[in-house]
A = this chain, B = another copy of it.
Amino acid sequence: MTSAALRKIERKPVEVQAIEALREAIVDGTIPAGERITEINLSSAMNLSRATLRSALHQLAQEGLVTLVPYTGWRVLKLGPQDVRELYTLRAALERLAAQLSAGRLDDAMRASLEAAMDALSEACAAGSADEIAEADFALHKAIVEAAGHGRLRSQYRLIEQQIRMYIRSSDALLAGGAEIRAQHVPIVEAILSGDPELAGRLSEEHNLSEGRKLSDHVAAAAG
């Protein structure tokens, strides 16, 4: 072993690379919402075969990012008010379970990761851009889900994660200031770290529901 720090080379199947590239493009708006896309165009543009791309599109379809209309083409998800409602209610239900479970099985490693995520959010709230705050916010929520140690919960959360990012991005402005955002999350993390599942779950759910409702109203107002 001559070199201590060699850059790891990516060794993923082309298919998962395609999935990730497409997901990113859709979430960050490179491919506009509501756009109609065809397999043959994308496959040539991404330099891979139709069969591979098709498989990737099917996976994204199960994540809800694209829909297939038979023999006519694919269409990327366009979020409406109903979608936003669905997303934040579902997110609240899943994160409530995550917070309950995390509080119920405390562990040095997860304690450390939660504290790190909370610190990062505090720092971002104090002196970060809106994008950085949103990212740290999201990272904390995700850390809670990871700490639950629940594989299926993690999978299901991942399914709606990308769509949540889309609507956070679509309502480009944060609705609350940095200090307020930090104040909203501190009690949740404290409840988890103190090992109180009941309280942690309730706080987490309330936070998601109230923030989701705000965002939903904001989107509805902007749309109509």
Contacts and interface: CB of A to CB of B under 8 A. Distances in A.
A156 B86 CA distance: 12
A139 to B, nearest CB: 22
B13 A90 contact: no
A93 interface: yes
Interface string A89-124: 110111011000100000000000000000000000
Given A58-B55, A64-B155, A152-B64, A93 B86 contact: no
14 contacts: A55-B55, A58-B59, A59-B62, A64-B155, A89-B97, A89-B150, A90-B97, A90-B150, A90-B156, A92-B97, A93-B93, A93-B94, A156-B156, A156-B160
Interface size class of A (residues with CB under 8 A): 20 to 34
Interface in A67-102: 70, 86-87, 89-90, 92-94, 96-97, 101
A94 B97 CA distance: 10
